[in-house]
Amino acid sequence: MSQPRVLVVQHEAICPPGWVGEWLVEAGADLDLRMPYAGGDLPATLADHDGLVVLGGSMGADDDADHGWLTDVKRLVREAAEHSVPTWGICLGHQLCAVALGGEVAPNPRGQQLGVLDVGWRPEAAQDALFGPVSGPARAAQWNNDIVVRLPDDAVLLAETPRGEVQAARFAPTVWGVQWHPEAGGDIIRVWADDDRDDATERGIDVYEYLRHVTDAEPELRATWRPLVESFVAGVRTRAPAVP
């Protein structure tokens, strides 16, 4: 496989592939970026793709009635799981993978997670095909309201917060998700801060403080998460299953 073709699903304009898109291309992937929110279609199957990346968005994982393409994304995730197509979900994408395979997503009862937070790797991550190369001490940019509150049957929890909130999981042998945003630097998160500003102010949250944390940490975040994308593309090339 000289240049694996990766389907990337973008859910809204303010949540582009960012660094992840840049790193996928640099690692040798051919990106097929689809924007169903803007009228673009999704493929009927993954027959012409070697991998799938599902990006984040402000809608909920169960908001199919308002965002009809979410049903199709979940169908593609189930196809990927059945046919061992490497798949990686980011934030909303992570939540869609969970719901597609039988898990549950809900608003975090402890409130919104914002800023640059520690990743709480579990021992299982060190043996994982995707996360093994990056499972040392790490921080990541978080910007979310919903979380996975119940994993699908047979899923493996790979990282969690000190309070037990899911940060990363392997939902099926070749389907992974992360609650954090490896794709987002200050340019992307500045737009989210502007969008969240009024609601956050009412809750006593200064979103621009969290934006500064992300901007200050950009060199660290890029160095930490680029190898994860390289690991994903390596798996796409070989279509090798994860450690069960």
Q: Where in the sequence numbering do the catalytic residues fall?
A: 91, 181, 183
Determine which helix (DSSP H) or strand (DSSP E) holds 211, and give its type and residue range. Answer: helix 207-216
Distance CA 143, CA 141 (A): 7
What letter represents residue 160's amino acid? Answer: E
175: DSSP letter: E
- The CA distances from residue 70 to 60, 61, 107, in Å, are 9, 7, 18
Q: For residues 86 and 106, is the Cβ–Cβ distance under 8 A?
A: no
Distance CA 230, CA 235 (A): 9
121: DSSP letter: B
Distance CA 196, CA 178 (A): 22
